[in-house]
Structure 1
Amino acid sequence: MTRGVLSFPLTSFRENGDLHPGAYRAYLEHQLATAPGAVFPACGTGEFTALDEDEYRTVVSTAVEVTRGRFPVVAGIGYGWAQALRFARVAEDAGADAALVLPHYLLRAPQDGLVEQLRRIAAGTRLPLVAHQRDQVAFTADSLRRIAAIPGVIGPKDGHSDLDRLRRLTLAAPEDFLFFNGAATAEIQARAYAAVGVPAYSSAVHAFAPEIALAFFTAFQADDTARMDALLRGFYVPFVELRDRRPGYAVSLVKAAARLRDLPVGPVRAPLTDPGPDDLADLRKLLDQGLDLVGAER
């Protein structure tokens, strides 16, 4: 999964809010043209919490069909362990290769409970599990040692960006444990994460502008600091500033950018809302600027 950007595709909806499987299939084909390191359907960017089980089955099975074994498919699962297992079994039947365990719903939990949650999920599925730590889920070094000992758990995806804490986790883990940079706009911190032993990262930008994401990843792999800094200054930092204007923009702004490129993704589902006219105009200018930086068609 370090050989390419980790792709977290959007989920396509019709204007009335219904799932649009045909549009989703076409969108996935566009995403896979840049050969991502893996595909993570029905995760945060894919609005996992807005999908019912039948829709989830369609989203994951379509991703499996479109990838045709070319890339690992890691499906999102979540809520409490019992509901997460229901989704895990659907993902298994659909042919997913692994599952990303999204943070549980609502509650803050003690470390023993976080470990037990993963132990129960792992005991009920054949899928390898990636544990997503963000929001109310944050593992201690001791908890991570116990999690690493659970058969089937292959590593964590970090969204906290606490590099001191993350370094302690990487030192506590077995050498073959997989760590992933899951910061909201991971390119901003890609070099910092790599410095503490976490080179693999997900890219929200890949969901709407894989050309920009691939250009940054190529520069990152080549340690081309000048190129990375030019992309950060010219596109990524302004994008983060725009994303931070309103709650939910980590998904709805990404989806709006995809629509600006005529990608068939449709609107977001409530409780998310689509950007207003002013933010949309700023997004269009920034997107054009980013595409110009990498010499891509608008």
Structure 2
Amino acid sequence: MSQDGSRSFPKGILGFPVTPFKESGEVDQNALEQNIDFLVKEDVSALFIGCGSGEFQSLGEKEYRQLIEAAVHGSKNKVPVYTGVGGNIKEAVKQAEVSEELGADGYLMLPPYLIQGEQEGLYHYFETVISSTELNAVVYQRNNAVLDVDTVERLTAFPQLIGMKDGLGNMELNVEITQTLGSRLEWMNGMPFAEVTMPAYYKLGFETYSSAISNYIPHISRIFFEALKKEQHDKVQQLYQDVILPINHIRKKRKGYAVSLIKAGMEIMGMPVGQAVRPPLVPVEKEHYTELENVLKTAMEKYPLKNKQEG
């Protein structure tokens, strides 16, 4: 089980720190710690370290440990820490064991490497990882790891499994799974730029989501989510027009911007992360960087930081 003995998972906005790199290619420890500290102070519900936005696919074993240690230390026991595990099955099990060793509360199971598996194969992949530790586990629906209702239901036999994060966007499947399993799992919206789709997910019982913009404008994430929960439709619509859709429009211009645009936003907002990303990702082009600057300038004028108190 998790380090505090709990199988519960906090609802709300989840923080996914990036992995800052120096020009030399090494992890920038100082920038990493600042990113983690910022998210903790901004009251995210949990930290997910070394996942998609943290460039999981590009991390070496020592770097992976470095990130987890920084997150566990930086969380100061105020928020739970989850890691990313995935790839080939041996590596995924090792990463889960390392996460437990270093004091994480749980992990998000990223898709296995390359293979398009049958449901039986996917079940055994996930049950092998889940049963390797007592940590809380979250399955991730996306790419080549899409579980049907029966497979998810079989996996719920493991008490370690506490949630499902959806990055697929198949709403018919989401209805089937949530209506079948109800409150057994925590339902998390993990779509790229989850604020875009959150109104649809929220009505299905998805009360938790990963927010890319929480890395640099978390107060706007809070304003948006509070307005959504209170059914303040005019405010939600205005946030779409002013901030969410303009950023999403930039994000879709290049593959990989789901990660590199976060770093650009953080740099624009004065955080020392730089723009370096590891191949095959590419940094944000100058033209798109300027577009993001303009969007954020407007966002901060219309929604100044004092609005943090609204949450």
**Which one-letter code corresponds to 1:288 in the other structure?**
K
Q: Which residue of 2 aligns with 1:272?
A: 281
Shift in Å, 1:211: 1.9
Shift of 1:168: 0.3
Residue by residue, what CA displacement relative to the aligned partner does 1:145-194 show, whole Å, maximum 9, x if unpaired? 11212341112100111111101011222522111110111111112101
Matched, 1:136 2:144: yes
For structure 1, the residue ranges without an aligned partner over 5 or more in a row are none
Deviating above 6 A after TM superposition, structure 1's stretches of 4 or more consecutive aligned residues are none
The equivalent position to 2:22 in structure 1, one of 14, 17, 22, is 14
Alpha-carbon distance in 2 for matches of 1:151, 1:83: 22
Q: Does 1:205 align with 2:206?
A: no
Task: Note if 1:294 corresponds to 2:303.
Answer: yes
For residue 57 of structure 1, report the CA deviation from its aligned partner: 0.6
1:220 Cα shift?
2.3
- When normalised by structure 1's length, the TM-score is 0.96
Deviation at 1:2, TM superposition (A): 5.0
Aligned to 1:88: 96
1:190-217 C-alpha deviation (Å, 9 max, x unpaired): 1210111212111011112112212212
CA contact (8 A) 1:156 1:180 kept: yes
Aligned to 2:170: 162
**Contact 1:60 / 1:96 at 8 angstroms: preserved in 2?**
yes
**Contact 1:179–1:200 under 8 Å retained in 2:** yes
CA RMSD, aligned part only? 1.4
Note closer, same or farther for the CA distance 1:65–1:33 as it changes in structure 2 (3 Å cut). Answer: same
Identity %: 32
Say which of 128, 140, 154 aligns to 1:146.
154
Q: Tell me the distance in 1 between the aligned counterparts of 2:221 and 2:270.
A: 18
Where does residue 5 of structure 2 map in the other structure? none
Deviations 1:233-257 (A, max 9, x none): 1111111111111110000111111
Of 241, 248, 257, the residue aligned with 1:233 is: 241
Aligned residue runs from structure 1 range 24-173, under 5 A: 24-173=32-181
Aligned partners of 1:47 and 1:191: how far apart in 2?
Answer: 27
Secondary structure of 1:240's match? helix
Match of 2:190 in 1: 182
Structure 2 CA distance, aligned partners of 1:70 and 1:4?
Answer: 15
2: distance between equivalents of 1:174 and 1:217? 22
Asked if 2 retains the 8 angstrom alpha-carbon contact of 1:134 and 1:159, the reply is yes
TM-score using structure 2 length = 0.92
Assess if the C-alpha contact under 8 Å between 2:106 and 2:137 holds in 1. Answer: yes
Amino acid at match of 2:267: R
Measured against aligned partners, the alpha-carbon deviations of 1:112-150 in whole angstroms (never above 9, x if no partner) come to: 111111110112112111001111121111111112123
Mapped contact 1:79–1:105 kept (Cα < 8 A) = yes
Deviations 1:227-283 (Å, cap 9, x if unpaired)? 111111111111111111111000011111111122122211111110111111111
- Distance (whole Å) between structure 2 residues aligned to residue 3 and residue 292 of structure 1: 29
Give yes or no for contact 2:40–2:78 (8 Å, CA) kept in 1. no
Shift of 1:293: 2.5
How many residues align? The count is: 297
